Amino acid sequence: MQLLQQIINGLMLGGILAFVAVAFTLTIGMLNFLNFTIPALFMIAGMATWALSSGGSHMFAWGWHWAWAACAGITLAVLASLLIERFTYRYMKARFGDATEHALPLVSSLGFLIVFEHLAMSLWGADPQRFELPFKDTNLRIGGLIFGIPHLTSLFLAVALVALLHWLLTRTRIGRSLRAIAENPDAATLMGVEVQRIVPVVFVIAGSLSGLAGILYAASYGTVTPFMGDAIATDAIAAMVLGGLGNIWGAIAGGLLVGLVKVLAISTFGAEIEKIPVWGLLLVILILRPSGLFGHTRIGKGKF
């Protein structure tokens, strides 16, 4: 029973990781861009929702209904994501042709990460804040096993949204343009894809996914901090690599796997072991099977 509960806990953590991993894998798969601002988008949505919905003496304590606050949080994350698109991705075109240039958008996104996290810190302080849920009991009990409702929601939402995304990518015109850009931006331009118009779509999707994940995370664990995205994002990067860069279903599987490995390792060996299994596994997989555990993608190899 104990083990079963741990497995459930792992999968529920995995549900949130999967969300963030999908956002990562989408930007890297479509645009070859390791978007390090995703933890910031995650945090912006979580903190904004907290700030707007709770009363108190902090900034923007407007006491909104939680649903409106959550919508505002996601909108803010999407706007921030578009801002990032404007200032990072647009500048990633090769201009001087040396080996470190593929780092450009990565570096600017790190810059944005620092900006957003410290902006949140100067608005609301660095201390963890309690994220109150409007519902009394957020746990579901089935035969002695405890399921967190926010966790379950995030797991189901993640699967549903990925199914939607899959449909979008394979069946619609936008999806086809995106896949053309993923394959070769120049060829896509020649084929009449308006790259500058289509690319923001990826950022909108990534922003809303990470924003939603941030709110669900805050609801699941009950706290928000300006740096809440960092730990989740590093695990989500691990999940993304396990699933194969650019593979959205792989990201879900990777997220669940990382969540599971993490929770089981902590419950078996104690909290201090947590980094070794996840990152050790990741390092081994990167070295032995760089395309990830699931399927083949040729994304991210060599120069960009």
Question: From the CB of 31, what's the least distance to other proteins, in Å?
Answer: 11
Question: Which lies closer to other proteins via its Cβ, residue 17 or residue 241?
Answer: 241
By CB under 8 A, tell whether 186 contacts other proteins.
Answer: no
Could you count the other beta carbons within 10 Å of the beta carbon of residue 67? 11
Binding to other proteins in span 2-41, by CB under 8 A: 28, 32, 34
Terminal-to-terminal C-alpha distance of the chain? 48
By CB under 8 A, tell whether 88 contacts other proteins.
Answer: yes
Number of residues binding to other proteins, judged by CB under 8 A? 54
Q: Binding other proteins by CB under 8 A: which of 3, 67, 114, 191?
A: 114
Question: 37 phi and psi, to 5 degrees?
Answer: -85, -5
List, as one string, the DSSP characters of the chain.
-HHHHHHHHHHHHHHHHHHHHHHHHHHHHHH----TTHHHHHHHHHHHHHHHHS-SSSTT-----HHHHHHHHHHHHHHHHHHHHHHTGGG-S-SS--TTGGGHHHHHHHHHHHHHHHHHHHHH-SS-EE---SSS--EEEETTEEEEHHHHHHHHHHHHHHHHHHHHHHHSHHHHHHHHHHH-HHHHHHTT--HHHHHHHHHHHHHHHHHHHHHHHHHHHSEE-TTHHHHHHHHHHHHHHHH-TT-HHHHHHHHHHHHHHHHHHHHHH-GGGTHHHHHHHHHHHHHH-TT-SSS---TT-S--
Question: Which lies closer to other proteins via its Cβ, residue 65 or residue 275?
Answer: 275
Q: Binding other proteins by CB under 8 A: which of 96, 136, 186, 192?
A: 96
Residue pointed to by tokens 């001087």: 96
Question: Which lies closer to other proteins via its Cβ, residue 153 or residue 234?
Answer: 234
Question: Per-residue string for binding with other proteins, 256-285, x by CB under 8 A?
Answer: ----------------xxxxx-xxx-xx--
**Piece of the chain touching other proteins by CB under 8 A; list 6-14, 64-72, 113-121, 175-183:** 113-121
Q: Binding other proteins by CB under 8 A: which of 71, 82, 115, 145?
A: 115
Q: Binding other proteins by CB under 8 A: which of 1, 2, 95, 192?
A: 95
**Piece of the chain touching other proteins by CB under 8 A; list 63-71, 87-95, 126-134, 157-165:** 87-95
By CB under 8 A, tell whether 160 contacts other proteins.
Answer: no
By CB under 8 A, tell whether 113 contacts other proteins.
Answer: yes
Question: Which lies closer to other proteins via its Cβ, residue 214 or residue 300?
Answer: 300
Q: Where along the sequence are the contacts to other proteins (CB under 8 A)?
A: 28, 32, 34, 87-88, 91, 95-108, 110-116, 118-119, 122, 230, 234, 237-238, 241, 245, 272-276, 278-280, 282-283, 286-287, 290, 300-304
